[in-house]
Amino acid sequence: MYLAPLNYDRYFRKVFSDTGIAKRFLEDFFDTKIDFIELLTTHHKLTDDSAAVEFDFRCRIGEQYVIIDMQQWYKPDIVHRFYTYHCINTALQLENMPLKSFYLETDKERKTKDYSELLPVITLIWMVDDTLNFRDDYVSYTMTPEIITEFVSNHLLWQNENLTDLLKHRELALSQLNNRTKKLDFLRKNRLIFAFQKNIVRNQKFAKYYSWFELAEKTRNRLNEKADFLKFAEDGIFAEIMRRISRESLKQDD
């Protein structure tokens, strides 16, 4: 074995503890430019009696929070579990939420948390083997008005040859979707994304994120050799990833 398996939590965390590596991965996956990234604590306890919750990776990028969790085993509860993680990442913002003042009829000042400062959360689940019966590279879920789902799922509507009626329903759906009163659009800025390593490697799309999943897949081979990773060594970020999980650099605890 030349490189340790990147998909294992301990090695994933070792790699993504580097700000430069994390920043580059997120830029490649979301096809965007990140000016600043702040790595955040991954181990949390919500109440005195609750079990500890630990993310594989958590950061803040501009006006949003991002968590990445590696899922390498088949488990029946992953949808509920990662939705819970997603909600927890939202609730953790309460720790540093600013206060705002308002006055009662008695002119007495009262302070309360300013929930308008709550930022969207993006949860990216890196699925190693499980594809959830999708063939896509990834699927993304967000919160939108129910009328959107009803519009797409209305079979009778789509069988109707009256285009005017179809456009009328579309306009009704768009009017709700585009309503930003009191920041309603905040709801659909939150995303839960399942990325499927097996599909990404098989589909081989010319996407920036492909190399990350290809590298991870190659490290799963226990007989991997240096020759398997020559093309990755030409990139500074990938060279650093390889250095961090190379067998030569691993300690006894690893």
Considering only residues 112 and 6, tell me which one the structure prediction assigns the higher pLDDT.
6
User: Which residues, in sequence order, are CB contacts of 43 under 8 Å at separation 6+?
Assistant: 52, 53, 54
Residue 134 has pLDDT above 80, yes or no: yes
Q: 138 and 38 in one domain? A: yes
Does the structure show a pLDDT above 70 at 45?
no
Query: pLDDT value at position 47?
Result: 54
Beta strands 53-54 and 57-61 are unpaired
Averaged confidence pLDDT in the chain? 89
Q: Which is more confidently placed, 57 or 73? A: 57
Report the distance separating Cα 56 and Cα 216, nearest Å: 16
On whether the CB atoms of residues 20 and 237 are closer than 8 A, the answer is: yes
pLDDT band for 154, please (50, 70, 90 cuts). Answer: very high
Does 1 fall in a domain? Answer: no
Cα radius of gyration rounded to whole Å, the chain? 22
User: From residue 240, how far is each of 58, 68, 184, 198 by CA, in Å?
Assistant: 20, 20, 42, 24
Mean pLDDT along residues 151-155: 93
2-35 pLDDT per residue, tens: 999 999 999 999 999 999 999 999 999 999 999 8
47, 75: one domain: yes
- 157 shares its domain with 124: no
User: What pLDDT shows up at residue 182?
Assistant: 93
Write down the pTM of the prediction. 0.88
Strand order in the sheet with 191-196: 37-39, 57-61, 64-71, 121-127, 191-196, 138-142
Show the domain range for 150.
145-183
What are the angstrom distances between the C-alpha of 203 and each of 138, 197, 209, 228?
11, 10, 12, 20
Contact 118, 186 (CB under 8 A): yes
Q: Is the pLDDT of residue 149 over 90?
A: yes
pLDDT at 50 over 50: no
For residues 82 and 136, state if they share a domain. Answer: yes
57 forms beta bridges with 68
Q: Which residue is associated with the tokens 């659009």?
A: 185
151, 62: one domain: no
Token representation of residue 94? 């309460």
Residue 143 has what pLDDT?
94
Mean pLDDT of 208-234: 96
- Please report the pLDDT score of residue 108 as a whole number: 74
Confidence tier at 44 by pLDDT (50, 70, 90): low
Alpha-carbon distances, residue 167 vs 104, 147, 149 (angstroms): 48, 14, 15
Structural domain tally of the chain? 2
Q: Give the residue with greater pLDDT, 139 vs 74.
A: 139
**Residue that is last in its domain, among 127, 159, 183:** 183
Q: Does the residue 254 lie in any domain? A: no
pLDDT for 225 equals: 95
On whether residue 61 sits in a domain, the answer given is: yes
